[in-house]
Amino acid sequence: MACLFNEILSILACFGQNQLNRTVQDELPLASFYFTSVEPKPQNTCYMKKKCAAICSLSYVLLMLLGSFQLIAQTPVKKITGKVLNETQKPLVGAVVQTSDGKIKAISTEDGSFAISVPSASTTVVVSYVGHLEQVVPLNGLTVISVVMKVDDKGLDEVVVVGYGTRKKSDVTGAVASINSKVLQAIPTTNLSQALQGRIAGVESTPTSFKPGTGSKIRVRGNRSFNATNDPLYVVDGMPVSYTIDDINPMDIETVDVLKDASATAIYGVRGANGVIQITTKKGKAGKFSVDYSGSVSFENILKNIPVFNAPQLADSWRQAFSADKVYNYAQATSSPNLYFPDAQADVKLFGGTTGNAMWEFIKDAYQFTTFDRLTNTYIAKKRATTAEEKALLANLKFAVLDSVSEYDPTKVRGYDWQGNAVRQGITQNHNLSIAGGSDKLKSNLSVGYFNQKGIEFGQDYKRYSVSNSNEFKPTNYLTFGTNISYTNSTQNVGPNMYANASGMLPFTKPYDSLGNFLLYPNGDQQIINAGNDVNTVFNEVKVDRIIGNIFAEVNLLKGLKFRSSFGIDTRNTRNGVFNGSLSSVRQGTLANASHTISNSQSWIFSNLLSYNFKVKSDHNFNVGLLQEMQSLNKTDVMSMAAQNLIFEEQKWYSLNRNTLATVTGSGSYTAQQLVSFMGRLEYAYKNKYLFTFSNRYDNSSVLSEGNQGAFFPSAAFAWRVDNEKFFSEQNIFSSAKVRVGIGRVGNSSIAPYQTNGPLDFTLYNWGNGTAAIGSAPTTFKTPNLSWEKTTTQNLGFEFGMLKGRINATLDFYQSSTTDELQRVSIPATNGVTFMYINLGEIKNKGFEFSLNTVNINSKSGFRWTTDFVFSRNKESIVNIDGTGNNNLANLLFIGQPLRVYYSYQAQGMYQFSDTAKGGYLKDYLWTKGTNAANTAYRAGKINVRDANGDTLIDGNDKMILGTDNPDWTGSITNTLSYKNFDLNFMIYFRGGGMYRAPRPGLVGRYQSNSVNYWTPTNPSNEYQQPTRTSDVPTYWEALTYRSGSFARVRNISLTYHLPQSVLKKLKANAMSVYINSLNPFLFHTQSDYDPETIQYTEQFAATTGNPGPNSYSFRSFVVGVRIGL
Amino acid sequence: MKSIFKITILAGVCSVFLLVSCKKFIKEELVTQLTEDYYKTDQGLEDLVKSAYVPLKWKYEGEQSYALFNFGVDEFRLGDQFNNEQFNRYNSNLNSNGPDGFVNALWIQSYAAINRCNLGITKITEYNNPTSRVLGTAVQKNLRIAELKFLRGYFYFQMVQQFGGVPIVTESATSLRTEFDRASVAAVYNQIIGDFRAAGPGLPWSVTEKGRGTKAAAYHFLAKAYLTRGSAVADARGQKGTDMDSAIIFADSVIKFGPHVLESNFGNLWSVAYPNGSIPKAGFDGTPPAADKAKLTSNNNSNEIVFAAQFSDNLALASAANNQTHMFYATQYDAGIAIPGMTRDFFNGRPFRRLRPTDYTIDIFDRVNDSRFFKTFQTAYYRNVSSNAGLPLFTAADAPSPDLIGKPKVGIGDTSALFICNNPSQAILTADLAKMRFPRVYARYKKTSPTATPTSDFSDNKYLAMIKFNDGVRLTVTANEARGIKNGLLARLAETYLIIAEAYGRKGDYTTALTYVNVLRSRAAYKSGEEKNPQNWMYLGGSNDLQSTSNAMQASLTLFTTNAPSELYPTTVTGTPDRFIHFMLNERTRELCGELYRWEDLVRTETLFDRTKLYNADATNIAPFHKLRPIPLPQIVSLTKNGQAFGPSDIQSYQNPGY
């Protein structure tokens, strides 16, 4: 099958084009003219340019002629009136009534009535309404008619947005999945990327952070690129956007359609490599006027507290650390007898009793001192006799056997709860108002939104104002103009990380001294910095202005022949102010510093699409499309300024020149890239049973080397509507069925601009101490052959409905192969530069997606229970890295493995005393080779890692692939139960497999540590090593961090109450509901004390002291909300 | 008709867009990005030359500084917060694919610099534009070419000392090359000496743009290259019988004709590390010592400096790291087992506690007469905390006068900690130590009774901090600012003297050798009228006077013609020539201790294994093969042989033995 597909693909470019031309030439000479002309000649772009210009000019002449012809042709003669009703005889607002040729249209009004003028009383009118079957009514002389619309309950018959147009879902040949606003808004979220989690098979959403205003990383069917982007393309109302989709208010979104396989995305060519997410915003509807308000307030609380040692536990771990290094005694010297049990004198020194350190106040009550004299260094506390067991233990551990030890009561050690004072209850407010309405000639929608989240950590919040407006003007029935514009203004306070800081503070210290003065170093240790004041002094504010807008004009030239031209702009301007005040953990008492960064980014896209939909006889339906498109992508200029030692703090980053050094440093940059593209598409349906789509796109990108800038991206797909076959009606198990196969190729050129021409870098040097000597040095070679990265996807899909649509399922199998990976490869540094860009390497993705919607109960009493089940599994594997068949250790790339793997030592617990005895692992195995016996890492209480290659040496060769960042599978189950006016909805999200890393505890006798079960001579733990004073980064610590990332999360439980009609009538409202929702209430995960989703993938750290850990903290929310429709 | 009008407008607008040439539209417009075409201009070539100096800084920009150049030698061993210990312990982590990547970075930095030199030499030679103001004349062009050849020589010299034979690349490649054979050590030395010799005549003795290559720098390194090549006995470096004469001639020309002179006082080179002001009387407060920008500037501008990597105090010109060497030698005076009255400040530095001096280093100094000892190590820490909390107070029993009872024993600016550098025979009674009023006293040798065996307070946490790199004024005043602004000393005139001295000695002319050593010794002695360190007479048996120690400091032939105990010769060292080499190493420690020459000096003199094994208790695993660094594996694996990627045997044969 794969082979066959490849065969098809290799000839597709020409085949697609020829097929297209021949078919059209046979049927319609005029249209074929366009086709032959647009067939791109890649070798000669100049030729192409002239051709385009010629076609366009010609087409507009034609267009004008046809337009005027149509104006003359219309001569209405007969007026027809009537009503459109649903099956329960209720009026339907906004139903479209039109003549069978579609030239004359009317829209039903609020009471369902309409009036239409038709050429003659024998015409046939067609009535259509969303979600209902089309009704064809022959007038037969009648002038007043009543039309009853029947609900179309075939699941397949929704409309989905494909590239450059919409299609009935049943007619789509590619793998496309959709969700509507109802599903999107079932769970209140800040942004779209969060809302997609677990909703669509094949779309993986993982939070990048839980800080207010941050979004998620979206992957459609896995990663496929080493160095270029793996983010999907977002298309809003037909316009590809260039920046994060998370600026957009999710409440403005009507539907989301995800194009997953290349037969669907190839039409976006070089930008479609990672899937395409089509977003349709809310629009006004003809004949219907509505005002909708929705508002909610939610209360957020941290989901999982990070367990850290309490004061007595931490004190114990410090003692153990000192004792392990044989310095737990008053002198803290190995020359004095080392102690094992808590000792008053040793503690006096350890916890600063001799110097009056603040820690001592918390510890001292555990002992009963008879003498405590700092002047003479005399500290005598009450003792008790040692028990026989304790004596035996000391002897056994080779400690001095003491007759008495200090009387110690750990419950008397006092403690301070740092964490509890670093988090708060967050509050989120979300209000949205939309007004939509329209007539035949004008449809309009206006939405305004306000979102304000106060995060669970102090100083972190996010505020967003959004306005969006769409208008569609239809001055004549062959011309449509429209605009869509959305503006958002958001302010994100990234804030300080007070909770993480608090989790690292010693419980036997407190943030203020006895006089109430703030203590920057509560125990005097300058590595343990109290960030408690950061909420007042550390600011990191990101302000974003985002405008996405497009205007379009569409002309109906002939029946079925349309020309659409659109121009869209996407602008994102950000301002980032960073300020660190003097009394902060950043500046630690030195004068404040600040920076101010302004970034202006803009993209525009201009596209012209000619489409022709026609039938030959009644069995052959054709739809052809031709596109020309120019894109200016991400023209960005950035200016950044910074200053140290600000004179006063109130100014934050607004007057950087006021600093004691009288120096403001600055930097800036400018980048731009462009794309020019042509595309042709042919869709052909035979008897609505066999559906074919062929497309081919030609893209030219500025970032690639001259001469290699252009490429073709062809695709082909076939769908068989089994339910339209005769034999289908002979069974009654299945209510609908479709089989799809598709293949296509997409590209990726997402490398930074200016990389192909031998770019230079600026170097900094100076003569003497002051004169600038800024130089320029080569960074890489010219790469004249750099070209696209290409992804070919094959997809096989099944869609079917059973039991009269009670069960609907979609199944997709796919395989994609990305070749000519754009890579930044390391080259021998002897060349003078260390890397260059090349096209080499291959990544394969294989997977399976399944989604199932069932109506479990739909009783006459009004009880309805539905279940949505989504499952996807993707296997990503590197096939080839550099052509040699070798792995790339430096970048942790391994053949047969996904991109992000965990590669390290495998832990086998701790070495135990038994290992050191005869017959033990250390004694008889590890110590027998090389210098192992002298290595202090191979002792009881230290981390035991597997000697994977069996050479009796633990070294880099023993590292192995322990797991990957990718889950094996993900899935979700959503249940909705409704009865009368109540809806109960709950969703559970599952993630199976994958791995993450839990942080390293600080078992060093100096810092606070996560609460862990560590090894001591009397506690032979296999979880964590013995604390030691000398090393906070113990050898092989990495091995202890790896955890399985499987979890189940209850995403929401919501209960909605719809107010009954009787009440609504009194309130003059159409609909009104109130709901309560518990978001993320439960997480089922046992591998660590962390929420796996709060820890991002990191396998290699820049510094040897680097430590994995959460960058933010997840929370559960309780939401109360209301939705009102007038 | 209105519609037709609209459509016409629309069509017109669309056509205009389409008429824009596709080709032009997708052409990259270079705004803030330069490409190789810039090197066709004289400004571009000038900038290329400047960029070739930048890799000089790398040696000082992080932990590679001590790890590659001063770890694993006789002078220093591990402090208690050791990172990169493999470079000191020589354990199995010191391999070509180690976790640190220093050897890889050294390789990358050096070849990046060499490439810039090669590119510049070719392009400047080709450049022909008489109207150019900066590169219009042959003199101007030759000056820049000479600078580049000097730098190229310098970088190959650094490479050959660390790695042995490395690929010699003298042409800049225009496209990817993956075959690079290692040249012999002898061939690399020929390249180095050729470059320095070619550079010298084209360079001026002094430059206005301080930091550019000079004749003095070229000849200093040329002399050092000859000395290094000629020092080989067992190693094959292509040594020639004339090497010592060549070293003498070129080094001597630096002294005779160059503009550089020795500082009159050894301490002037690092004066930033000395306290200014005086210690207050017991019971009174003074001011704690503070860093002084003027001192630092004068250190940087010292005329003794022949060549230095330039670091900037200007944020806009500073690298992300700048000079970080100030952190690695400091002891933990500020935390851990705390010293009452002390907190971290800029003057005393940020203690990373990576290296502490070995006993050899302390004992090789004549601590009574040689002022360099107390100008190299910090023995006192002056109270810089204003709060009296935790400080011992005078009591009726120990107050010098009744009015001091209840006052802190040391005021602000007074001695909070004292490191006493005595000999075992001078061990102090613990009872006497307890009587001292300083909150902390660390005696190198103490004993509980006159007959007891001496023990030491010196530990891996509290030890003598080397202060030559102290940098009290850093790039910003942010707490813990790591980016120092002291220049990185690559060569100073004192070393030129030592090069000549060693070259004469290697020729057997010990008398002349000693005249050069004694120039430095005279400078090292306490001057007449110079106050000596109080430890001199209090604990070391010296005298408390203002007399010069110059006479006592003069080195004589007996120091190496006999097995002089003061020189701590290893027992394997016998015979005058052999002892002379070790004597010179001792003298280099006394003069250049810690200045990031040691590892290369020991390798050069073929003494790395013996001396490190003997004096560095932490270097337990050192083996003779450690005289070369491993060739970084990331570099080897990206190479090919006859178009094929390297197999395991190719990798092994490319690698240095032992790794």
Instruction: Pick the closest to residue B165 from B138, B140, B129, B190 (CA basis).
Output: B190
Average confidence (pLDDT) per 10 residues, chain B, 659 residues: 50 52 73 87 96 96 94 93 85 70 92 96 95 94 97 97 96 89 96 96 94 96 97 95 96 96 95 85 89 91 95 85 94 83 92 94 95 95 88 87 90 94 93 90 93 91 94 84 93 97 96 97 95 93 92 95 95 94 97 96 96 93 94 87 84 91
DSSP per-residue letters across B524-536:
HBPPTTPPPPTHH
The encoded tokens of residue A658 equal 């006021």
The dihedral through the CA atoms of B540, B541, B546, B547 has a sign that is negative
The shortest C-alpha distance from B217 to chain A (Å) reads: 15
Neighbours of A676 (CB within 10 A): 25
pLDDT at A14 over 90: no
Instruction: Judge whether B210 is closer than 8 Å to chain A, CB to CB.
Output: yes
Burial of A540 by CB count in 10 Å (0-12 exposed, 13-18 middle, 19+ buried)?
Answer: middle
Predicted TM-score (pTM) of this structure: 0.78
- Residues for chain A: how many in total? 1126
pLDDT at A570 over 70: yes
Neighbours of B430 (CB within 10 A): 16
The pLDDT value given to residue A153 = 53
The pLDDT value given to residue B603 = 97
Q: In whole angstroms, what separates CA B385 from the centre of its chain?
A: 32
Contact state of B176 with A827 under an 8 Å Cβ cutoff: yes
d(CA A749, CA B38): 26
Contact state of B177 with A830 under an 8 Å Cβ cutoff: yes
Nearest CA in chain A to B97: A956
d(CA A843, CA A901): 14
Q: In whole angstroms, what separates CA B529 from the centre of its chain?
A: 32
Under a CB-based contact definition with an 8 Å cutoff, are residues B514 and B557 in contact?
Answer: yes
pLDDT confidence of A77, banded at 50, 70, 90? low
Instruction: Pick the closest to residue A111 from A142, A89, A126 (CA basis).
Output: A89
Give whichever of A132-136, A664-668, B258-262 has the largest mean pLDDT. B258-262
pLDDT at A57 over 70: no
The pLDDT value given to residue A3 = 40
pLDDT at A1021 over 80: yes
Buried-exposed string A1082-1103: b where 16+ CB fall within 10 A, e elsewhere: ebebeebbbbbbbbbbbbeeee
Q: Which SS3 state, helix, strand or coil, does residue B29 take?
A: coil
Percent of chain A with pLDDT over 70: 92
The encoded tokens of residue A89 equal 């005889």
The pLDDT value given to residue A266 = 87
d(CA A1002, CA A996): 19
Q: In whole angstroms, what separates CA B79 from the centre of its chain?
A: 18
For chain A positions 1004-1063, those within 8 Å of chain B (CB to CB) are 1006, 1030
The pLDDT value given to residue A151 = 66
Instruction: Judge whether A867 is closer than 8 Å to chain B, CB to CB.
Output: no
Burial of A109 by CB count in 10 Å (0-12 exposed, 13-18 middle, 19+ buried)?
Answer: buried
Residues of chain B neighbouring A769 (CB-CB closer than 8 A):
297, 300-301, 310-313, 485, 487
d(CA A59, CA A40): 18
Give whichever of A192-201, A1051-1060, B336-345 has the largest mean pLDDT. A1051-1060
Pairing of strands A982-992, A995-997: unpaired
Of the candidates A67, A565, A665, the beta carbon closest to that of B315 is on A665
Amino acid at A41: K
d(CA A352, CA A509): 12
Q: Which residues pair with A91 in a beta bridge?
A: A85
d(CA B495, CA B370): 17
The dihedral through the CA atoms of B143, B145, B151, B157 has a sign that is negative
Range in A24-28, A586-590, B218-222 with the lowest mean pLDDT: A24-28
Q: Which residue has the tokens 């409905």?
A: A801
d(CA A185, CA A187): 5
Amino acid at B152: R
The encoded tokens of residue B48 equal 């290329």
Percent of chain A with pLDDT over 90: 51
Contact state of B638 with A665 under an 8 Å Cβ cutoff: no
pLDDT at A72 over 60: no
Provide CB contacts within 8 A for A967, sequence distance 6+. A204, A991, A992, A993, A994, A1045, A1046
Q: By 3-state DSSP, what share of chain A in percent is helix, strand and coil, each rounded to 5?
A: 15, 45, 40
Pairing of strands A239-240, A144-148: unpaired
Under a CB-based contact definition with an 8 Å cutoff, are residues B485 and B322 in contact?
Answer: yes
Contact state of B22 with A49 under an 8 Å Cβ cutoff: yes
The shortest C-alpha distance from A1022 to chain B (Å) reads: 25
Instruction: Pick the closest to residue A691 from A265, A175, A173 (CA basis).
Output: A173
- Number of helices and strands in chain A (H, E): 15, 54
Mean pLDDT across the stretch A520-541? 90
d(CA A474, CA B420): 95
The pLDDT value given to residue A25 = 36
Contact state of A765 with B83 under an 8 Å Cβ cutoff: no
Neighbours of A912 (CB within 10 A): 18
Of the candidates B6, B15, B50, the beta carbon closest to that of A773 is on B50
Of the candidates B25, B92, B319, the beta carbon closest to that of A955 is on B92
The encoded tokens of residue B485 equal 């602004």
The encoded tokens of residue A472 equal 């569609």
The pLDDT value given to residue A581 = 93
The pLDDT value given to residue B97 = 64
pLDDT confidence of A135, banded at 50, 70, 90? confident
Nearest CA in chain B to A475: B3
The encoded tokens of residue A853 equal 């919607």
Burial of A689 by CB count in 10 Å (0-12 exposed, 13-18 middle, 19+ buried)?
Answer: middle
d(CA B254, CA B60): 25
Contact state of B310 with A766 under an 8 Å Cβ cutoff: yes
Q: Which residue has the tokens 């094929």?
A: B644
Residues of chain A neighbouring B22 (CB-CB closer than 8 A):
45-46, 48-49, 52, 676, 700
The pLDDT value given to residue A16 = 37
The pLDDT value given to residue B14 = 54
DSSP per-residue letters across B225-294:
HHHHHHT-SSS-S---TTHHHHHHHHHHHHHHHSS----SSGGGGGGGGS--S-PPPTT---------HH
Mutate to test the interface with B, among A328, A555, A566, A766 (most CBs of B within 10 A): A766
The pLDDT value given to residue A62 = 39
What interface predicted TM-score (ipTM) does this complex get? 0.90
The encoded tokens of residue B455 equal 């023990």
Neighbours of A1069 (CB within 10 A): 16
Provide CB contacts within 8 A for A10, sequence distance 6+. none
Q: Which SS3 state, helix, strand or coil, does residue A28 take?
A: coil
Q: What is the mean pLDDT of chain A?
A: 86
CA distances from A499 to A206, A304, A422 (A): 22, 12, 5
Residues of chain B neighbouring A887 (CB-CB closer than 8 A):
none
The pLDDT value given to residue B635 = 87
For chain A positions 342-361, those within 8 Å of chain B (CB to CB) are 352, 354-357
Provide CB contacts within 8 A for A1091, sequence distance 6+. A303, A304, A1083, A1085, A1110, A1113, A1114
Instruction: Judge whether A776 is closer than 8 Å to chain B, CB to CB.
Output: yes
Neighbours of A585 (CB within 10 A): 20
Amino acid at B591: E
Burial of B648 by CB count in 10 Å (0-12 exposed, 13-18 middle, 19+ buried)?
Answer: exposed
Give, to the nearest 10 degrees, the angle between helix B510-524 and helix B576-592: 20
pLDDT at A477 over 70: yes
pLDDT at A30 over 50: no
The pLDDT value given to residue A66 = 38
Residues of chain B neighbouring A588 (CB-CB closer than 8 A):
478-480
Contact state of B340 with A768 under an 8 Å Cβ cutoff: no
Q: Kindly provide the residue ranges of all beta strands, DSSP E only, lying in A774-841, ordered along the sequence.
A: 775-778, 789-802, 807-819, 822-826, 835-839
Quick one: three-class SS letters along A243-270?
Answer: CCHHHCCHHHEEEEEEECCHHHHHHHHH
Write out pLDDT tens, residues A369-414. 999 987 677 899 999 999 999 999 999 988 999 999 999 999 999 9
d(CA A116, CA A98): 8
Contact state of A832 with B25 under an 8 Å Cβ cutoff: no
Range in A208-222, A914-928, A977-991 with the lowest mean pLDDT: A208-222
Range in A18-22, A306-310, A641-645, A928-932 with the lowest mean pLDDT: A18-22
More confident residue, B333 or A956: B333
What is the DSSP-derived secondary structure letter of residue B574? -
d(CA A213, CA A453): 8
Write out pLDDT tens, residues A226-281. 878 889 999 999 889 888 888 888 888 989 999 998 888 888 988 888 999 999 99
Q: Which helix (H) or strand (E) holds A81?
A: strand A78-85
pLDDT at A465 over 50: yes
Provide CB contacts within 8 A for B436, sequence distance 6+. B418
pLDDT confidence of A17, banded at 50, 70, 90? very low
The shortest C-alpha distance from A832 to chain B (Å) reads: 4
More confident residue, B645 or A962: A962
